[in-house]
Amino acid sequence: MTKKLLILIILVTIFLSACASPERAALAPVEPGFSDEAYFEGAPIPEASVVEVESAFTTNVVSSGERIVIMNAGLELVVDAPDESMENISRMADEMGGFVVNANLYKTRTSDGQEVPRASITIRVPAERLDEALARIEAESDRLPLSKNVQSQDITSEYTDLQSRLKNLEAAEAQLVEIMESANRTEDVLNVFDQLTRVRGEIEVIKGQIQYFEESVRLSAISVELIPNEAVQPLTIGGWEPVGVIKDALQTLISALQGLVNVLIWMALFILPIVIIVGVPLYFIIRGIRNWRRRRKQREVEATTEKDEEIKAEE
């Protein structure tokens, strides 16, 4: 009876610790454009990929109080030869100790029907060399990037929470092992074994999530779109560039509408309040003066009428 009670207490403790912070236990979403394998609840974790609780990353980063930040970037570049630029970026990733996540080379058509190559590539490089990698990628083009973004995600609280949950689950695992070793009845052994299997599964999932975080912090992802020069050339017909004319017309229209909106904003926020503050009192003052003059004139007319009547009465 005592043994069953002890088993029940241990199982309740395991359940409570495993259910703590369910939202934080969820795997952080993979950044858009990344296709490297992520760990998710229920997925098997290879034995060689499991990280230790007291890893070098945990010791050097978490215990020192530093923030744990994932840095990723994205670029759109216009290049002469997308296929060559893709190869250059791939070699650069290898040189830096990173790797290619995915690369795609395909054909596209320009507005005049010309078939040209286009490429996209996603790489991972050491986070401390992210700026260097971006500079080398931008050097592939003689133009400024069409778009460039660098994103950062602070995962310090999520990472620390996973470490705490991992320690709790491993402590519960050790207790279950002791109970199973001392159990005599087959039924008790099977019950504890089932709980032990579930706890070990949760441990492997959390370890996979921790490793995903550590790899994401150590290696930054860079997604690059390589656009051929021909795809951004203006349409020309006999020296006439209709696209340029349309662009100028739209820009003029936007400027005119912008000026009109600016005038309306000034009227609504500046002129209208002044008109209300000054105009309303002035209106009532003018109206009062006009009413006073009207009444005064009416009294004068009435007085003149009375005098005329008195004169007529005396005659």
Query: Which pLDDT tens digit goes with each residue over 62-109?
Result: 444 678 899 999 999 999 899 999 999 999 999 999 999 999 998 887
Dist. CA 268–CA 247, nearest whole Å: 31
Question: Facing residues of 67 across strands?
Answer: none
Considering the domain architecture, whether residues 98 and 209 belong to the same structural domain is answered as yes
Beta strands across the sheet bearing 99-109: 99-109, 115-126, 219-228, 69-79, 147-154
Total domains in the chain come to 2
Any domain includes 235: no
- 103-118 residue pLDDT tens: 999 888 776 677 888 9
pLDDT of 31 over the 50 cut: no
Strands 69-79 and 115-126 come out as unpaired
Using alpha carbons, select from 223, 215, 222 the residue that is nearest to residue 28: 215
The pTM of the full predicted model, rounded to 2 decimals, is 0.52
Mean pLDDT of all residues in 276-285: 86
Domain of residue 287: give its range: 243-315
Contact 40, 27 (CB under 8 A): yes
Report residue 48's pLDDT band, with 50, 70 and 90 as the boundaries: very low
Give the phi and the psi of residue 125 in degrees, each rounded to 5. -130, 160
Same domain, 174 and 299: no
Q: Which of 230, 257, 272 lies at the terminal end of a domain, its last residue? A: 230
**Residue 238 forms part of a structural domain:** no
Q: Has residue 299 been placed in a domain?
A: yes
74 shares a domain with 11: yes
pLDDT for residue 51 = 35
CA atoms within 13 A on the CB side of 166: 22
Task: Answer whether residue 52 is part of any domain.
Answer: yes
Does position 142 have pLDDT exceeding 50, yes or no?
Answer: yes
Q: What is the mean pLDDT of the chain?
A: 77
